[in-house]
Amino acid sequence: MTTYFNGVVVRSSGERPAVAELRLPEIGPGQVRVRVRAAGVCHSDLSMINGTLRAPYPLVLGHEAAGEVIEAGDHVTRAAVGDHVVFNWQPPCRSCWFCAQGEPWLCSTSSGIAALENGITLDGAPVHVALGLGAFATQVVAPENAVIRVPAELGFDRAALLGCGVLTGVGAVRNTAQVAPGESVVVIGLGGVGLSVVAAARSAGAADVIAVDVSEAKKGLAEAAGATDFVVSSDTLSKEIRVRTGGRGADHAIECVGRAATIRAAWRATRRGGKVTVVGMGSNEDMVQLSALDIFSSARSLRSSVYGAADFDAEIPRLAADVLAGTLSVDHLISDRIGLADVPAAFDRMSRGEGARSVVVL
C-alpha cells in the first residue's frame, strides 16, 4: 500500500521551499513508520537550501523531530506502535572502527551523509530526504536505529529539540569542552544551539557565561537561558571579554556560527591555555587562518564538537530525564509554533537572526 503525505521540498539550490504531495512506500524489515508530531527548524536545513551544505535535489527538508510510531516492520525491537520517539539523523552502525572505539558520533557509515533516497517519490520520480529523514513531513519511514523512545509526558515539541539543537549544545559543554564549576565561558552565536550551550554551561556551574551575538535582540533570550552577561559582537570583542574575565580571556569559547571570522574571534577571546570548541558547521571554502607563532605561544586548544560528541542512545534518555526533572530547561528555545506551510517564512526569520527555534507542530 502506498501512502500519500505532505512534506516541505526544495527543488534546487537557492530555491524557496514549498509544501508538496509525496508518496511513501510500504515499510520493510527493520523499519518503522512514524507520524511526525513536531520538528524544529534547524540551521543545517537552511544550509542545504542555500548550498553551504551540498545536497542532492529535490530534497525533503527537516531532521530535528519527534513523533509517534504508527507501524513497525518485521524484526523491529527498539520501538512499538504507539511509542513516542525522537529521530537520530546520524544513527551509528555500531560495527565500524569509530563505533568500536566508543565514538558513534563519528560513525564511518553514517557520517557526512547530507541526504538519502528512501523510496519517497515526487511527481513519480525519486526524491532525497535531508540527513536520511526528511522530517518536515507528516510521515517518515526510517530504520529502527534512527529512533529512540522518550516518555510521553515530555511532549513532542520539547522532544524534537533534543534530537539536534539541544543534544549538540549540551554535548559540546559536557562532553567536548568539559566545562567545570567556576570556569568562564564565552558563547558566540545565539541560535537554538548557542542558547542550549548557554543553558548547559550554567547547569555545569560556570561562574561567568558571556553570550555574544550580532543582534541586541538576542539579549533577552540569552538571559532566559542563563547568561550572566551579553555582548554585541564587534571588532573589539576580545577586549570586551578580557574586561569581563580579569584581563585574561575566557577559559572556554564555544563557537556556534560556523564561520572563519567567528572562529578567529573565539580564539582571541580565550585565555592562554584555554579551550576553543567549534560547534557551527561552515563552508568548505571558508578558511581559518592562525599564525604558527600564535598557536604555539597561546597554548590554546582548538577542536570541534560533532553532534555534541554524544552517544544518542544514552544521551537522549538522560536529556529527557533532565528536562522532566527541571534541571534542564528547553521551553525558552521555542520562539513560535508553526505549520508546514510556514516553514519558508521561518527560514527567512532565521536568515535575519530572529528568534531561537521555530517548531513545526503537526
Question: Cβ(133)–Cβ(87) under 8 Å?
Answer: yes
List of domains in the chain: 3-149+330-361 (3.90.180.10), 165-307 (3.40.50.720)
Ramachandran category for residue 157: left, alpha or beta (phi over 0 → left; psi -120 to 50 → alpha): alpha
Please name which of 310, 316, 362 lies closest in space to residue 341, comparing C-alpha atoms: 362
- Give DSSP secondary structure letters for 141-198: EEEGGGEEE--GGG-HHHHHHIIIIIHHHHHIIIIII---TT-EEEEE--SHHHHHHH
Look up residue 285 and give its three cell numbers.
571554502
Residue 137 to residue 206: CA distance in whole angstroms: 39
pTM above 0.85, yes or no: yes
What does the pLDDT read at residue 111?
Answer: 67
Residue among 161, 209, 189 nearest 328 (CA): 161
pLDDT category, 1, cuts 50, 70, 90? low
What does the DSSP 8-state code read for residue 137?
Answer: B
Residue 279 CA to chain centroid, in angstroms? Answer: 9
Query: pLDDT band for position 114 (50/70/90)?
Result: low
Q: Is the dihedral of CA 206, 199, 192, 39 positive or negative?
A: positive
Contact 63, 87 (CB under 8 A): yes
What element of type H or E holds 350?
Answer: helix 343-351
Q: What percent of the chain has pLDDT over 70?
A: 98
Cβ neighbours of residue 291 under 8 Å, at least 6 residues apart?
Answer: none
pLDDT of residue 118: 72
DSSP string of 265-297? HHHHHEEEEEEEEE-S---TT------HHHHHH
Euclidean distance between CA atoms 195 and 169, whole angstroms: 8
| Calpha distance 170→156 (Å, rounded) | 19
User: Helix, strand or coil for residue 40?
Assistant: strand
Sort 10 into a burial class: Cβ within 10 Å, 0-12 / 13-18 / 19+: buried
> Cis (ω within 30 of 0) for the bond into 317?
no
For residues 157 and 64, the answer to whether their CB atoms sit within 8 Å is no
- Report in angstroms the alpha-carbon separations of 147 from 35, 63, 96, 129, 133: 12, 12, 20, 16, 11
Q: Distance between CA 156 and CA 145 in Å, rounded? A: 19
Task: Render pLDDT for 252-274 as a digit per residue (tens, 0 to 9).
Answer: 999 999 999 999 999 999 999 99
Do β-strands 184-188 and 147-149 pair in parallel, antiparallel, or remain unpaired?
A: unpaired
Read off the pLDDT of residues 83-100 as tens digits, 9 standing for 90 and up: 999 999 989 999 999 999
> Which comes out higher in pLDDT, residue 124 or 164?
164
* Tens of pLDDT, residues 325-339: 999 889 989 999 999
- Lowest-confidence region among 18-22, 23-27, 191-195, 336-340: 23-27
> Taking a C-beta distance cutoff of 8 angstroms, is the pair 321, 299 a contact?
no
Q: Which residue has the higher pLDDT, 284 or 338?
A: 338
Give the span between the Cα atoms of 38 and 31, in whole angstroms: 20
Q: Which residue has the cell 598557536?
A: 295
Burial class (CB in 10 A: 0-12, 13-18, 19+), 233: middle
- At 283, the pLDDT band (50, 70, 90 cuts) reads confident
